[in-house]
Structure 1
Amino acid sequence: MLLLFCLLFTAVAMAGPRYGFKWREVERKGVDIFIAVDCSKSMLSPDIKPSRLERAKREVMDLLSMLEGDRIGLVPFAGVAFIQCPLTLDYNAFYLFLKDLSPGYIPLGGTNMAGAIDAALGGFSEKDDTKKAIILITDGESTGGDPIESAKRAQKKGVKIFCIGVGSEEGVPVPEEGGGFKKDKNGKIVLSRLDEATLKEIASITGGDYVRSVAGDMDLDRIYRKNILGSMERKAVSSGREKVWEDRFQWFLGPAVLFLALAMGIPSAVRSEYFVNCPDNPHDSDGSGK
């Protein structure tokens, strides 16, 4: 029974119970980054396994493990763009939004790069001088707005844009989620072509960089380590207070150790004391048992 209590209290202690909290002033040192991800149907293309979009999501997930003090936000786009996750230090919350992205996430088709850039620009705070960047991941031609004008607005605000081109300039058919390929009003299969010239110009205008995805490798780690950390100053910015919960595992670890000691030490001592003092001890020297 004592060992059972020991195991029970040990399990609770290992679960890391917390009770009570205190407020702590938080000062972070980093940059603000919006990830703009193309969610158009062409991102279903299987030329990159399992699909262009899934590969993009996996690389962004890998990027999360490198971040420390950088706020990150998410802008999905197709025919329209919007902020799905505002800038945050809560990488787990960002992940939850990211993993839900799919080609059907935005019903309006197209590749509105201008909208994606403008949405991200609207999500940055102008109250601090934190360095700011946009990572734009897309596989198609721009079909809405003027991304070059949007890039110029970004440049005026000191925001760098790093573009990642996924796909082919020759073009690939746009898959439909139910099977087959998208067709135009004349019944011809629609091709999605990568517009590298526009992406390069966007990056050049803002002082960013352009990377062509090769075999699914989007070089997000290089962009972050070399282009963002290597060229953008990470300034210390107060980000308010955070709630820090108090660890209380010791409340359960102490009793667990006590129960273990009792289980290991008490039985033998009790048996020894019993045999020495028990009036009915059959091992009395006179053999009478009295």
Structure 2
Amino acid sequence: MEAFHFLRPLWLLTLPLILLTWWLVRRQGERPPRGPAFLAPHLRDALIIERDRTRCPRGVDGVVLVMLCLAVAAAGPTWSQQQSPWFREAAPLVVAIEVSDSMRSNELLPTRLDRARYEVLDLVKARTGSRTALIAYAGTAHIVLPPTNDVRVLQTFLESLDPAIMPVPGARAAAVLPVARQLLREGGSRSTLLFVNDGFDSTAVAALAGFVNEPGTPGVVSLVVGRDEGGVALLPDGSPVLAPGGGPLDTRIDPGPLRDAEREAAVPVLRARADDGDTRALLRHIASQQLAANDPDAHWKDQAWLILWPALLLALSWFRRGWTMRW
């Protein structure tokens, strides 16, 4: 409601004139007919039909309601903007995908990393014509692909990602932020940074909170791939991934930092799903981020057509027999 206004407010000046016309016509029509003068008053009252005409609806009421609707529609009510295609094209999506040993976990077949690739490709294909950049991170973050709208090139680079090629092991999501800031120097607040990972740690939550509070920063969304109970992380040869202290790597997801990211850093955290519900939710978040930005070429959408429908329904009453009006 804060954005509600009229594109052509001068048309609202006709509302008092319409109401004044209605009052004058109504007042004139409420005068009871006098009848022949030779009749006695008690007989004349008995012969007059519809003596109390003040409460029954009349033709002028329907005409005035239609005129009021048309006047409001002509004023151009609006409450949302239509962004220009250039604005959407100039606002890229930066995908930061975690390429760590925990992403080898197999509770989501074939692995979390493979499922993350599928999720990214589904999202990119749904954003036809928009640009997407790719960042891979483990203990460090690196630009894999600058913003591009070539889906096949992006797919090739996604398929080449493997924890074995990352120079430093780990899962430091905070390392992504300066790299993303470098990529989004031009996009600014119109862009979106999407984390595709299996969780955050406490240091990442603090860094995210500081990042989103900076002016001109992009919106941040997280898509968590994996179940809280985790699975078994396996190497390509089928042997389990070992933790630094020995034993199988713990791939459980701690939901605590995810809740902290939503509460302290205002980062929406979504879970990967088997259907396309997560993709549709991501598209809504990306669209809302672009709408929240200030597009100098955006146009307010004229919503007058919504008011024309009740005006047309009221106009149908004129086809009712006897429902006519004489000015």
Structure showing the higher strand proportion among its residues = 1
Moved over 6 A (4+): 234-238
Residues 164 and 218, structure 1, Cα contact 8 Å, conserved in 2: no
Cα gap change, 1:205 to 1:121, in 2 (>3 Å) = farther
Cα gap change, 1:91 to 1:236, in 2 (>3 Å) = farther
Residues 56 and 137, structure 1, Cα contact 8 Å, conserved in 2: yes
1:149 deviates by 1.7
- Which residue identity lines up with residue 152 of structure 1 in the other structure? G
* Pair 1:134-2:193 in alignment: yes
User: Which residue of structure 2 lines up, in the alignment, with residue 52 of structure 1?
Assistant: 112
User: Which residue of structure 1 lines up, in the alignment, with residue 206 of structure 2?
Assistant: 148
- Which residue identity lines up with residue 210 of structure 2 in the other structure? K
User: Which residue of structure 1 lines up, in the alignment, with residue 290 of structure 2?
Assistant: 232
CA distance in 2 between partners of 1:90 and 1:206 (Å): 32
1:169 deviates by 3.2
Q: Cα deviation per residue 1:120-167 (whole Å; 9 max; x = unaligned)?
A: 222112x45561111111124539x54422442233133211112222
Q: Which runs of 5+ in 2 are unaligned?
A: 1-84, 298-327
- Which residue identity lines up with residue 101 of structure 2 in the other structure? K
CA distance in 2 between partners of 1:235 and 1:100 (Å): 37
CA RMSD of aligned residues (A): 3.0
* Pair 1:76-2:136 in alignment: yes
Q: Cα deviation per residue 1:79-105 (whole Å; 9 max; x = unaligned)?
A: 211111112233333222222222323
Residues 98 and 137, structure 2, Cα contact 8 Å, conserved in 1: yes
1:73 deviates by 0.5
Q: Which runs of 5+ in 1 are unaligned?
A: 1-25, 239-290
Structure 1, 200-209 or 57-66: larger mean CA deviation:
200-209
CA distance in 2 between partners of 1:89 and 1:48 (Å): 28
CA distance in 1 between partners of 2:136 and 2:175 (Å): 10
Residues 188 and 217, structure 2, Cα contact 8 Å, conserved in 1: no
User: Which residue of structure 2 lines up, in the alignment, with residue 211 of structure 1?
Assistant: 270
Structure showing the higher helix proportion among its residues = 2
Cα gap change, 1:105 to 1:200, in 2 (>3 Å) = farther
Q: Cα deviation per residue 1:20-43 (whole Å; 9 max; x = unaligned)?
A: xxxxxx945343211111111221
- Which residue identity lines up with residue 180 of structure 1 in the other structure? S
Cα gap change, 1:200 to 1:120, in 2 (>3 Å) = farther
Q: Which of the pair has more CA radius of gyration?
A: 2
Cα gap change, 1:161 to 1:128, in 2 (>3 Å) = closer
CA distance in 2 between partners of 1:185 and 1:228 (Å): 38
* Pair 1:223-2:285 in alignment: no
Q: Which has the higher contact order (CA 8 A, sep 6+)?
A: 1
Residues 29 and 237, structure 1, Cα contact 8 Å, conserved in 2: no
Give the match's secondary structure for 1:229: helix
Residue 166 of structure 2 is aligned with which of 106, 111, 121? 106
CA distance in 2 between partners of 1:186 and 1:198 (Å): 23
Name the count of aligned residue pairs. Answer: 210
TM-score under structure 1 length normalisation: 0.62
TM-score under structure 2 length normalisation: 0.55
1:47 deviates by 1.2
